[in-house]
Structure 1
Amino acid sequence: MPRPRSLTPTQLATAALAVIDREGLAGLTMRAVATQLGTSTMALYRYVHDRRELEALVVELVLDAVDTTPPPGGTDWRERVRAMVGRVRAAAAAHPEIVPLTLTHRHSSPSLMRWSETVLAVLAEGGLGGRHRAIALRCLLGYVIGAIQLEHLGPLTGAGTAAMAALPQAQFPHLADTAGHARSIGADEEFDGGLDVLLRGLS
């Protein structure tokens, strides 16, 4: 019987990402990835212990494309943070289903740690220190992860928003009115507007 071919971490992650892009995060199983690779499920366990380890490889594959070099100095620290956030958004746009995994693996992803280190340096240069800086980083991570999921997995311009806009005004006057406005807000305006609110608060 021929020896199973060797697989690199990149090959494993690429196959797993293809499964996620096609079937969603819920479709990520060891069997599905093995099928994608044309090998047996048991063969995968030569390379990873479980699905969690496979998820970590996928996170790295996507986030490794994020440029973590500091934005040029001489500009307002908020604009530099905005640039860093925009890089994550751009990288995740092609694979939004993996965004929840960034939360799960945020403490072990080298790429996300490098991104965080750069952001923390920018925050420090902006005068944010100690506890304030720690809270700021967590707020930024929470915002970018949540906003990307809303943008791609539950956009405000979808059928749910249309249904809320049609709610009885007598019972839900503010919700119906707000949903009506939300239907005309584009993804970029929504993302940038929310980030503006957050950055003003951090100041």
Structure 2
Amino acid sequence: MPRPRSLTPTQLATAALAVIDRDGLAGLSMRAVAKELGVSTMALYRYVEDRGELEELVVELVLCDAGGEPPPAGPPWRERIGVMARRLYDAVGAHPAVVPLTLTHQYTSPGVQRWSETVLAVLAGAGFDGGRRTVALRGLLSYVIGAIQLAHLGPLPGGSADARPPLPEGEFPYLAEAVRHTGGAGGPDAGREFDEGLDALLRGLAPRGGSRNGS
């Protein structure tokens, strides 16, 4: 039997991500990734110990650019944080099935750590102390991940990506109106809704003793 060809971490992660994009997170397995690469399952164990290590490689691949170079230092801090939030939204939103992995591996993924460190550095420069920086970081992560889930994995009931019948407006008038205004799963308005929600969140953040209206 020929010796298995050498594989790089990027090749492993790319194959695992292809499996997830095609079959969902539940479809990720050592066997499925080995098949994607054209090697035996046993050969794959030469490179990774288990599915958990594959997951870490996938998260790093998806987030390789999100936590890259910090935004330029000139603009106001809210604008710089907005750039970082949009990077994360775009990176993970391109592969929405990966969302649970970003949460599972948020404390061990270098990609998540780099993104978080950059955000915390911007917040520190804006005058946020340790406690408020932590609250702001968690709030931003919660918003971005939640926005991705709503846009791609959990549209409003009765929405365009939902097979169920429209909501009865007499019983749920406000929710029915919200459905009409939503962009649906990955719809054209999803990005606009994300930006507007992010702007509202950022306007609510301020360092201790600072003005929420300041830059």
1:182 to partner: Cα distance: 3.0
Deviation digits for residues 37-86 of structure 1 (CA, Å, limit 9, x no counterpart)? 11111222222121111000011111112252221123221111001111
The answer on whether the counterparts of 2:67 and 2:118 sit within 8 Å (CA) in structure 1 is no
Give the residue type in structure 2 aligned to 1:125: G
1:163 to partner: Cα distance: 4.1
1:27 aligned onto 2:27: yes
CA distance in 1, matches of 2:109, 2:183: 36
Q: Among all aligned residue pairs of Structure 1 and Structure 2, give the percentage whose two residues are the same amino acid.
A: 64
- Equivalent position of 2:107 in the other structure: 107
Higher helix share: 1
CA distance in 1, matches of 2:94, 2:45: 28
1:167 to partner: Cα distance: 1.7
1:118 to partner: Cα distance: 0.7
Unmatched 5+ stretches in structure 2: 207-215
CA distance in 1, matches of 2:3, 2:182: 57
The answer on whether the counterparts of 2:66 and 2:87 sit within 8 Å (CA) in structure 1 is yes
CA distance in 1, matches of 2:66, 2:183: 31
Give the residue type in structure 1 aligned to 2:73: G
1:104 to partner: Cα distance: 0.9
1:196 aligned onto 2:199: yes
Deviation digits for residues 124-173 of structure 1 (CA, Å, limit 9, x no counterpart)? 11121121110111111111112122222234552439845x3241x323
Distance 1:8 1:181, change over 3 A: closer
Query: Alignment RMSD, CA only?
Result: 2.2
- What is the TM-score normalised by the length of structure 2? 0.84
- What is the TM-score normalised by the length of structure 1? 0.89
The answer on whether the counterparts of 1:4 and 1:43 sit within 8 Å (CA) in structure 2 is yes
CA distance in 1, matches of 2:163, 2:143: 20
SS for the counterpart of 1:113 is helix
CA distance in 2, matches of 1:186, 1:40: 44
SS for the counterpart of 2:47 is coil
CA distance in 2, matches of 1:47, 1:159: 39
CA distance in 2, matches of 1:103, 1:11: 23
SS for the counterpart of 2:10 is helix
Give the residue type in structure 1 aligned to 2:153: L
- Equivalent position of 1:167 in the other structure: 168
1:10 aligned onto 2:10: yes
The answer on whether the counterparts of 1:20 and 1:27 sit within 8 Å (CA) in structure 2 is yes
The answer on whether the counterparts of 1:13 and 1:58 sit within 8 Å (CA) in structure 2 is yes
| Residues matched between the structures, number | 201
Alignment of 1:1-203 (within 5 A): 1-156=1-156, 157-160=159-162, 163=165, 166-169=167-170, 171-182=171-182, 186-203=189-206
1:183 to partner: Cα distance: 5.5
Unmatched 5+ stretches in structure 1: none
CA distance in 1, matches of 2:182, 2:164: 9
